A and B are shown apart, each in its own frame.
Chain A
Amino acid sequence: MLWEALTLGLGYNATLVTIGAAMLGFAAGATGVFLYLARRALVSDAIGHATLPGVVAGFMVMVALGGEGRFLPGLMLGAAVSAGLGLWVISWLTARTRLGEDAAIGAVLSVFYGLGVVLLTVVQVMQAGKQAGLETFLLGATAGMLRAEALMIAGGGALVLALVFVLRRPMTIAAFDPGYAAGQGIGLRAVDLAMMGLALGITVIGLKVVGAVMIVALLIIPPVAARLWSERVDAVVILAGLFGGVAGYLGAALSATAPDLPTGPLIVLAGFAIFVLSLLMAPARGVLAAGLAHWRFQRRVHLRQGLLALAGDQPIYEPLTLRLMRRAGLVRADGVATTRGRAQAARARLDERRWQMLRSLPEFEAAAARHDGLSPLDEVLTPDQIAALDRHLGPEGVA
């Protein structure tokens, strides 16, 4: 069952939903990177919650006009209008009052959401039975999704992705250096509007799949995970897209295997699992890499100190140092230096003396700034410079 779901073997509809969710996840991940870089990731939480009154109002209008209330494009239009209004309120509150953006986000989020709930209770009374689908917009549901709806979600995701591709340069520049962007003739307001518009698009498209409350996760988690892997924007965007796509794919496929596995939470949790893996495994910023780097550094410091002690004929008591040196074949089990140990100790002492001399000479100031107490000097200086340095040390220093 699980394998069939992951290989798209669960029938036509489940396959469509899975592909749609993957496309949505990809587009959301790529879009979210720019929100994250601009430090405005939480705006998407307000956008998500602010869609609710629009969805319900759209339903009411369509029913009042005698149409089918659950017509998805109509609901999405309503969602887009109310979320757009919410975004406008956030920017107005931030620009025109003393409230910060965080407070504006929270105010819009809770008030719009409250309004949506009020409207929901109106609908529940007005159209008993017929509104059954609307609650699914809170937490998302893909069960019983129509073919056209799945296609629309996949298509919308592709469209947003194309727009992200077109707008990636100005959005990157505006996120990193707004002043420079303005100097380049990039309209900051236009870029901001475009970025928020894309996030809004993702939210509206994803509403049916992950719901208003959790859509924020699709826009935040993949970018944060991807950021751990790379320092380059292009790579982060692609990685975030991939992470989001994989999360969407896994979540939708898993949820198709059993009736009580809701799609939205599974997609979010798949994304979170990718994030946790990234946090552990990422090459430079990951926890394991950081631990490894720390351990290597510690080892080098201990070995260096041990060698300097050997060179000065001082006994070594520190157990970790002793163990490391014994393992490297620098001392014997009883703590007496081996030949190799004595040779390396002499070299370490020479290195130390050269560093000391170097720090006292003004012409080596630039090199002295790079002193970390560990690097062998011949990695930092050219042979000519070392020769010049040794002339200062005099004959007894080199020996």
Chain B
Amino acid sequence: MGAEFVMLSLPPILIGVCAALACALPGNFLLLRRQALIGDAISHVVLPGIVVAFLLTGRVAAVPMMLGAGAAALMSVLLIEAVRRLGRIEPGAAMGVVFSAMFAGGVLLLEQSSASGVHLDVQHALYGNLESLIWFDGYGWGALLDASALRELPSELLRMAAVLAIVVLFIALFWRVLVISTFDEGFARTLGLPVRALALALVAMAAMAAVAAFDAVGSIIVIAMFICPPGAARMMTDRMGAQVAWSAGFAALSAVLGYVLAGYGPLWLGYGNAVSAAGMIAVVSGGILALAAVFGPCRGGGVVRAG
């Protein structure tokens, strides 16, 4: 627990925590607005955008790939809306049609290009590569105070932290408006609040978090963090502020515990090799949700409340 931890484990844990928080915070509102599956849709549709960006630039670079992912996410929103309006198709099914088709297009492009095999493969997109985000200059705890070493931190950490800051700022600034429009859209409209713009901004925040997290840690964490921590938090309290706080705690706990269990758990059990950290973080968040669903004080539900 010294230099090795700082170099190998600290950056992935920090990135994991940032990604988990950035997804879980807007997830609270999406959950209450019954848009929980938006994280699922976004993490599927960004694949073609990333692949196209890779094909156009010819290299694995974060900025063009995130631009591509953002463009793909935007396109999917427009497509879903078009399918919904033109065919008068219910939103869930319209979403299913669009995201599965776009994902299939992304996989096809990927297999067609020479991209498969190198860093950009389907597995990477699906599982993420949290373990590979190593801080080569992290020679020990002292490196945290060393400017030249800090500059060599994985760029994912900086990006993820920036995205988290933007998300936190957005939610803090628009807290009251967001809460009102989430719980009672009609009332929010009578107050003259820009309900539609707010809903759009929320989805945009979620998309930004999803795209950045997708790049750093893969799609499983994105989908799990949008839903599991807010879902578990919802069973703990009836108050929105407390729910957001709980969800942040659960998200951070999932990320840390998941990473530690994935990295060190197998060693404790006598295996020599670590398992997927991204997968483990999702599993831990699911475990937390399960505990909250069984023991949470406010798990609600028709049956329990009626008694």
Contacts and interface: CB of A to CB of B under 8 A. Distances in A.
B293 A224 contact: no
Interface in B95-115: 95-97, 100-101, 103-105, 107-108, 111-112
Contact of B93 (A102, A113, A118, A220): A220
A220 B279 CA distance: 27
Contact of A269 (B93, B101, B220, B304): B101
Interface string B254-282: 00000000100010000111111011111
Contact of B89 (A95, A96, A227): A227
A220 to B, nearest CB: 4
Contact of B122 (A114, A138, A285): A138
B49 interface: no
Contact of B36 (A103, A112, A138, A261): A103
Interface string A256-272: 00001110111011011
Contacts of B57: none
Contacts of B168: none
Contacts of A223: 93
Contacts, number: 203
B231 interface: yes
B78 to A, nearest CB: 15
B228 A111 contact: yes
A100 interface: yes
Interface string A29-64: 000000010010110010000000000000000000
Contacts of A213: 44, 103, 126
A114 B104 contact: no
Interface of B is mostly: helix
Nearest to B224: A110
B273 A125 contact: yes
A216 interface: yes
A220 B276 contact: no
Interface string A110-149: 1111111110111001000000000100110000000000
A120 B276 CA distance: 8
Interface residues of A, number: 59
A248 to B, nearest CB: 13
A139 B293 contact: no
A269 B104 contact: yes
A114 B224 contact: yes
B32 to A, nearest CB: 9
A310 interface: no
Contacts of B273: 121, 125
Contacts of B300: 97-98
A216 B100 CA distance: 7
B279 A115 contact: yes
Contacts of B285: 110-111
Contacts of B100: 214, 216-217, 220-221, 268
A275 B94 CA distance: 11
A42 B80 CA distance: 14
A287 interface: yes
Contact of A102 (B37, B101, B105, B272): B37
A189 B257 CA distance: 38
B29 interface: no
B89 A224 contact: yes
A279 B87 CA distance: 6
Nearest to B131: A121
Interface string B111-138: 1100000000011001100000000000
A106 B223 contact: yes
Contacts of A111: 224, 228, 282-283, 285-286, 289
Contact of A100 (B34, B86, B289, B302): B34
B101 A268 contact: yes
A228 interface: yes
A293 interface: no
A110 B227 contact: yes
B223 A109 contact: yes
Nearest to A96: B301
A105 interface: yes
A98 B93 contact: no
A261 B112 CA distance: 7
Contacts of A36: 93
Contact of B227 (A95, A106, A138): A106
B104 A93 contact: no
A77 interface: no
A362 to B, nearest CB: 37
A227 B89 CA distance: 9
A97 B293 contact: yes
A301 interface: no
A213 to B, nearest CB: 7
A217 to B, nearest CB: 4
Contacts of B302: 95
A99 interface: yes
A114 B130 CA distance: 14
A389 interface: no
Nearest to A287: B86
A119 to B, nearest CB: 8
A227 B185 CA distance: 31
B16 to A, nearest CB: 13
Given A99-B231, A107-B224, 17 more contacts: A36-B93, A39-B93, A41-B96, A97-B300, A103-B36, A106-B37, A107-B227, A107-B286, A111-B224, A114-B281, A117-B220, A117-B282, A138-B123, A220-B97, A220-B100, A264-B107, A287-B86
Closest 8 CB pairs of A and B: A114-B282, A111-B286, A98-B300, A117-B279, A217-B100, A268-B104, A110-B224, A272-B101
25 contacts: A97-B235, A99-B31, A102-B34, A102-B37, A102-B92, A103-B227, A103-B231, A106-B36, A106-B39, A113-B279, A114-B280, A115-B283, A116-B279, A213-B126, A217-B96, A221-B97, A224-B93, A224-B94, A228-B87, A260-B112, A261-B108, A265-B104, A269-B105, A285-B87, A290-B86
Interface of B: 31, 34-37, 39-40, 44, 83, 86-90, 92-97, 100-101, 103-105, 107-108, 111-112, 122-123, 126-127, 220, 223-224, 226-228, 231, 234-235, 262, 266, 271-276, 278-283, 285-286, 289, 293, 298-304
